[in-house]
Structure 1
């Protein structure tokens, strides 16, 4: 993976206004070219020894490998969860114009 590799980064939060704030803040800081907030999803997970169920909103952010460390720090600093889900997946293929746009918007 090179610094120019485009990544899709996933995080979740429990309120639509928080999701919008995280999405907008990351784009305004040029840490992500765009962010998409999904409709509510149901998350089932183990937390502090118990299985929990929660309504959450997923945020998909598009960035580059070079910007990922700063995006992760920013999300961690601005997130309301103690241990937020922050997962990055490389984009293996994509439209060259779109991938170029992501690279341009995050530099």
Structure 2
């Protein structure tokens, strides 16, 4: 049953890659490190963006990751260190609601939460 308050500690993080092989490699490393419990790789995205003063367009691979807010600094650093883009998109959004069973699964698969 959904509808409980989850205190905004869970997040989805989105990033994009130029090549599927890079997205898969990074996803596998992030899941192995337990910084994310799951990465969904969607291979068919067409992006239009401004880069260095010009409008560009490219086919990209979108990765959506499930994690916790306390892991975001480490997750962001890991993505940045492995990413081929000069300025990778790394955007986190809060999960405002989810099933308790799913959140329990996330907690089991992610690094343990550290008390401040």
Aligned equivalent of 1:104, options 103, 108, 112: 108
Q: Matches of 1:39 and 1:14 in 2, distance apart?
A: 10
RMSD of aligned Cα (Å): 1.4
State the match for 2:83 in structure 1. Answer: 79
* Residue pairs, 1:1-107, within 5 angstroms: 5-107=9-111
Q: Which 4+ runs in 1 deviate beyond 3 A?
A: none
Q: Work out the CA distance in 2 between the residues paired with 1:61 and 1:103.
A: 14
Structure-1-length-normalised TM-score: 0.94
> Aligned to 2:46, what secondary structure does the other structure show?
strand
| Unmatched 5+ stretches in structure 2 | 1-5, 112-116
